[in-house]
Amino acid sequence: MDTHTLPSAPGTPAVLRFDTKIAVLLREDLQPWQRLNVTAFLVSGLGTAVPELIGEPYADADGTAYLPMFRQPVLVFEGAGELLTSAHARALSRSLPVAVFTAELFGTGNDRDNRAAVRAVPTAGLDLVGLALHGPRNAVDKVLKGARMHP
């Protein structure tokens, strides 16, 4: 994962800028609990598909160990359903790693049924409520064109 340091004022920490971006795009009409649930599910896929996104394990001053997390921020965006459909198509056309969450997944209760619900629908017919992706900053920005930062 390529990063570079941006200049900062004397006495302030250096700003680390990543050449890649992790982004989640949510459909704007989701309930708050759905937004959180969808985001958590989506980013779990990126960590397994792109292992270099995961940093080193954490530990506190007492030596208590904690799980590693992403090495870079996750940016969360929102938009209308049509925007998710077009962003999904743009991400696929750029061969970016993408995780999807469809409306049908709110009615399933396990991983097997989740996968079956997605598999039952052609790509163009997916009722997307969220997607997560990772890639070069400029490619992710183009995929998310028209989206706004989640409030």
For 22-42, write each residue's pLDDT tens digit: 999 999 999 999 999 999 999
Rounded CA separation 38/1 (Å): 25
Lowest mean pLDDT among 79-83, 88-92, 107-111: 107-111
Decide if pLDDT at 10 tops 70.
no
Decide if pLDDT at 8 tops 90.
no
Q: Name the nearest CA neighbour of 140 among 49, 59, 21.
A: 21
Per-residue pLDDT band for 129 (boundaries 50, 70, 90) equals very high
- Whether this model's pTM surpasses 0.85: yes
Per-residue pLDDT band for 9 (boundaries 50, 70, 90) equals low
